[in-house]
Chains A and B, each alone.
Chain A
């Protein structure tokens, strides 16, 4: 009787989660997969096949766009780590109490406005008639307006800015858990800043680094607004391609195939990253 009860309450407890999983994740993906394997042969005529997937591999444009997107996302991830690590280290190890909370909140503040507003903020700063350009002219470093917008560097700035929090939070958490005496022991035994960082701090922070990198990489890869708004004339982004297929080309079949390829390829990259860093998914995300 009792076990029936507890099992029932367990089911009830899991029902919302299962519904969410089924309705919002699994069913749409099944639907998307079915769409992706229907190849259009004429008006309202479809056959089942992998033709849409073949398009991706035979048309270098799509393939290149994915490679470019992945490369830029990896670069953005790396850059975010490079900037985020010292920030996280400072917050976790060199401040305490109120200062710590304040600094943490400062990392959060940009996320109180929507991504669109944030991106427009960067546009106002970077555009030819924008604040940076005007400032450089004002202090005499530039004689005429400079365009900072509409290039890959601007995309990078936008991606790093958008991702920073997602890198800093896991890093602060893992660095917080690093006993200060381990660092002191490192110095005490003759280590210098570099060796202590390399042999003690980074190995300890590895789960945080990897989980931060996974999140930032996925966010960058799946970002749509930032690359579209800040990017230049050549800046194709894979999610933009998918949007185009779905919305402006009415080509849901190819769009779905692209969506699945994005899922598969990004998972592969994450898997490769985990293998390279010697971490497992349960170590990093499951903690």
Chain B
């Protein structure tokens, strides 16, 4: 990703990528909000940028939209550099965090706003507005006022307002943040459907990993102004490349540990609590004596009432159940490991086998070394 295509960067009419960022930097008075970020978004994909608040994802998005100018680097849409192009001249549209629907206009006027700016004839505007409203599932609401819509409907109007302009790239700035949980779950699916229906490239930023994981074709995990990893949801989940990604994407039990011995990818470590751990060197550069971060997902840990039920696990321990967090299909046990006294979060398999576990029960836990990812601590 770091190598530059040699030349001809402005003369590529059939570019493979709708959006390309090349070594983008953004400084605010000595603070690096975005640090040397490069990525490509292929045509028609749902691309998410996932990161905690303050990681620079909003700044990055605003640079794509044209509200902020990169300190250095280049930004191309359909192969054309956008540096110096004002927001109203860029072939991108943006769905704002709080949607930014115009309260002084009715829905038809909101959706038709962009077309009016382009000087599209009045009848055409009316036709195209109605068409796009139908496509987002809101036919015939044109004359209503914004305040008469529910949260989800507003969302769809905001998307319709952008899509009616047929942008090359649609930018979405955490648009689900203001919705309640149920609606948010629903809108995730809705958004994904809309994206595949329109076939438009979506660039979506969020701090909510589940939104990113569910909807995206590609996810970039961002932290401290840099991209940690770019890949499909499954890749990020199962093969996080950095400790940050391992900790941020999905749930994980984490330990700080010291490398005892190393043999190829297989590492033996001792946690600060004194637990012996066999793991997989995910960063590929662990050496004996290194400090390391170790991550184990709750669903990778198997439960058993006797030791012999757990064969083929490199890590076998015992623990006492301290709490049961019942959450239907997503229920967990919090237990204290006997030897080290460290707390572990374990997912309860949905087989019914462990339905009767209660507080204070003693159980065996085991997990494989391959699912124990170790990263050198920097």
A interface, CB within 8 angstroms of B: 179, 181-182, 184-192, 195, 199-200, 203-204
In the complex with contacts A181-B97, A181-B98, A189-B67 CB distance below 8 A = no
Which residues from chain A contact B93 at a C-beta distance below 8 Å? 188-189
Which residues from chain B contact A195 at a C-beta distance below 8 Å? 116-117
Distance in Å: Cβ of A175 to nearest Cβ of chain B: 14
Asked if B88 CB lies within 8 Å of chain A CBs, one says yes
Contact assessment for B98 and A187 in the assembled complex, using a CB-CB cutoff below 8 Å: no
Contact assessment for A189 and B86 in the assembled complex, using a CB-CB cutoff below 8 Å: no
Task: Tell me the complex Cα distance, A199–B104, Å.
Answer: 8
Contact assessment for B96 and A189 in the assembled complex, using a CB-CB cutoff below 8 Å: no
Contact assessment for B117 and A191 in the assembled complex, using a CB-CB cutoff below 8 Å: yes
Contact assessment for A184 and B88 in the assembled complex, using a CB-CB cutoff below 8 Å: no
Distance in Å: Cβ of A285 to nearest Cβ of chain B: 19
Task: Tell me the complex Cα distance, A271–B2, Å.
Answer: 66
Which of B99-158 touch A at CB < 8 Å? 100, 102-105, 113-114, 116-118
Contact assessment for A200 and B102 in the assembled complex, using a CB-CB cutoff below 8 Å: yes
Most buried by A among B65, B98, B104, B165: B104
Asked if B320 CB lies within 8 Å of chain A CBs, one says no
- Residue from A179, A188, A200, A203 in contact with B87 in the complex, judged by beta carbons closer than 8 Å: A188
Nearest A residue (CB) for B171: A188
- Residue from B88, B100, B105, B113 in contact with A179 in the complex, judged by beta carbons closer than 8 Å: B100
Counting from the closest, the 7 A-B pairs by CB-CB distance are A189-B114, A203-B104, A190-B117, A185-B100, A181-B100, A181-B96, A187-B87
Asked if B94 CB lies within 8 Å of chain A CBs, one says yes
In the complex with contacts A181-B97, A184-B67, A199-B113, A192-B102 CB distance below 8 A = no
Contact assessment for B117 and A200 in the assembled complex, using a CB-CB cutoff below 8 Å: no
Contact assessment for B67 and A185 in the assembled complex, using a CB-CB cutoff below 8 Å: no
Q: Is the interface of A mostly helix, strand, loop or mixed?
A: helix
**Known pairs A181-B100, A204-B104 / 12 extra A-B pairs, C-beta < 8 Å:** A182-B102, A184-B65, A184-B87, A186-B113, A187-B87, A188-B65, A188-B94, A189-B161, A190-B114, A191-B88, A195-B117, A203-B105
Contact assessment for A189 and B104 in the assembled complex, using a CB-CB cutoff below 8 Å: no
Distance in Å: Cβ of A209 to nearest Cβ of chain B: 13
Distance in Å: Cβ of B36 to nearest Cβ of chain A: 26
Contact assessment for B102 and A187 in the assembled complex, using a CB-CB cutoff below 8 Å: no
- Residue from B98, B103, B165 in contact with A189 in the complex, judged by beta carbons closer than 8 Å: B165
Distance in Å: Cβ of B115 to nearest Cβ of chain A: 9
Task: Tell me the complex Cα distance, A211–B98, Å.
Answer: 28
Which residues from chain B contact A181 at a C-beta distance below 8 Å? 96-98, 100
Asked if B162 CB lies within 8 Å of chain A CBs, one says yes
Contact assessment for B97 and A189 in the assembled complex, using a CB-CB cutoff below 8 Å: no
Contact assessment for A182 and B88 in the assembled complex, using a CB-CB cutoff below 8 Å: no
Contact assessment for A179 and B114 in the assembled complex, using a CB-CB cutoff below 8 Å: no
Task: Tell me the complex Cα distance, A41–B112, Å.
Answer: 69
Task: Tell me the complex Cα distance, A192–B114, Å.
Answer: 11
Contact assessment for A190 and B94 in the assembled complex, using a CB-CB cutoff below 8 Å: no
Task: Tell me the complex Cα distance, A40–B165, Å.
Answer: 74
Task: Tell me the complex Cα distance, A186–B117, Å.
Answer: 9
Contact assessment for A185 and B94 in the assembled complex, using a CB-CB cutoff below 8 Å: yes
- Residue from A184, A190, A191, A203 in contact with B100 in the complex, judged by beta carbons closer than 8 Å: A184
Nearest B residue (CB) for A190: B117
Q: Mark B269-299, 1 if CB is under 8 A from A, else 0.
A: 0000000000000000000000000000000
Which residues from chain B contact A203 at a C-beta distance below 8 Å? 104-105
